[in-house]
A and B are shown apart, each in its own frame.
Chain A
């Protein structure tokens, strides 16, 4: 079995971003970038499946500028086998990402594709679902448990009301939720080894995809600031304020 894991380079989850009023965009200068946390969980899951002897090869793919190679190297250092870098100036919208991934899957066949459920920058939560549609494959989103059987995959999903378990026909597309696993840290020897692993390059123009966006961003603003910081000294004061000032209880 072969697994494909798409990974995205995003602003690190610990960074509080700022909107640049002049460029009308999020200021990404000198900001720490990392692998999207949900994608890291996807890489970890693929490695665990391989360690369980249920997968022969893990390929990671990333779309984006040259630095996306670092994100691929991260995943290779964790234990993925090789990488594919699709060079784009910026990260295209999810539909176009899904179309590129569809082409990647046409070049080589994958039995399983594991993606993060959302990227923490645009918060779209679409790519895996779209890819499953383009490939006409089964879909298991928000996975918190994955069990591979012969021709099927049992997936437990985090849903609004609790947990849902479904059985998917292989080949399948999965997206990860937070509680699927805890990603490992790459060890120093593995970081060194990852430098020797292959990263192939692909140019979207060679894939024959019309990259014209269907949705354009007109502007980006900061949300209205919440004025907080009020303090109370005691529970009595708190209850009094909630009752008599805010009128919420």
Chain B
């Protein structure tokens, strides 16, 4: 048996999400191979080579793959999959975009966002926004799987370094072209790997008011997230959205401010270790999942929290 893990990277370093997907892959079969597809991305391949359980890293570098456009990347993976039984990726937007295209070419179904590996054909995955967990069994030789990263530990650096094999680029079918990417750069940790997240909802009333949350976040070394309502209202950009159809997170501490706790929002954060809710409506559903609920006006409570944290920092 053989497992290939698709690496998520920024052409420089390997993303945390892939280290978690690797942990899931190793539960299917160990050791695994990792494929790094990009342009001038050898350093990401070096990162992957140090991880425990990685036997070999395939490195494919070409301008075609600079932005991981779906069609050429899927074609290349389809070719590589002639020698593998499993293709595994983190359920990042790249993984979710590319893997089903490979699965269809292989004439297999994809098993999306697994949260546990029961055996090499049986997996658990959330359905209905995480309100039910399905145990599914695959009947095919080849399998294509995406991994919900919050459910798996980060793979650690191992004692040996895997070999890196360079692979030739495939053809570019020329169906699409990259134009631009607007990626907000932030000093704060990434949402999906942050230990603490401070999220705001419609109750924040404006993008300006998010500065209050940023101030709290910076004292805690936290990331800032949001509900869909806050994103739709234009308070913060789309990449802040936590939920069923945004990012799924499970930090040590999640602080929900002015968020009601709709099913779709809970789906993205209810596996956090400790949940704090600040909301002026004592019947808001968010309190049902909160360990510490504070019924208060956020415009009083958040500045107070900020001051209190400043005190303990000193």
Contact = CB atoms under 8 A, between A and B. Distances in A.
Interface of A: 11, 13-14, 16-17, 19, 26, 38, 93-95, 98, 117-118, 120-127, 129-134, 136-142, 144, 154, 157-169, 177-179, 213-223, 226, 228-236, 238-239, 241-243, 246, 248-249
Contact of A142 (B93, B103, B232): B93
A241 B179 contact: no
B308 to A, nearest CB: 5
Contacts of B128: 11, 17, 26, 120-121, 123
Counting chain B residues whose Cβ lies within 8 A of the other chain, the interface size class is 35 or more
A100 to B, nearest CB: 13
Given A163-B182, A231-B294, A221 B174 contact: no
11 contacts: A95-B110, A123-B129, A130-B100, A130-B104, A133-B74, A138-B71, A221-B132, A223-B126, A223-B131, A235-B305, A236-B308
Contacts of A95: 103-104, 107-110
Choose among B70, B104, B135, B253 the residue with the greatest number of A CB atoms under 10 Å from its CB: B104
Contact of A133 (B101, B132, B308): B101
B123 to A, nearest CB: 9
A239 B309 contact: yes
B273 interface: yes
Contact of A215 (B136, B231, B293): B136
B295 interface: yes
B134 A217 contact: yes
A94 B109 contact: yes
Nearest to B228: A178
Given A130-B103, A177-B238, 8 more contacts: A121-B127, A124-B110, A158-B239, A166-B177, A168-B176, A216-B136, A222-B132, A232-B293
A169 B131 CA distance: 39
Contacts of B270: 226
10 closest Cβ contacts across the A-B interface?
A: A129-B100, A138-B175, A130-B104, A133-B104, A126-B100, A161-B183, A228-B289, A162-B183, A248-B253, A165-B179
Nearest to B146: A125
Interface of B: 67, 69-71, 74, 92-94, 96-105, 107-113, 122, 126-140, 173-184, 192, 196, 220, 228, 231-232, 237-239, 244-245, 247, 252-253, 263-264, 270, 273-276, 287-295, 301, 304-305, 308-309, 312
A interface SS class = mixed
Given A125-B96, A158-B238, A161-B239, A26 B104 contact: no
A93 to B, nearest CB: 5
A216 B112 CA distance: 13
A139 B92 CA distance: 17
B180 A164 contact: yes
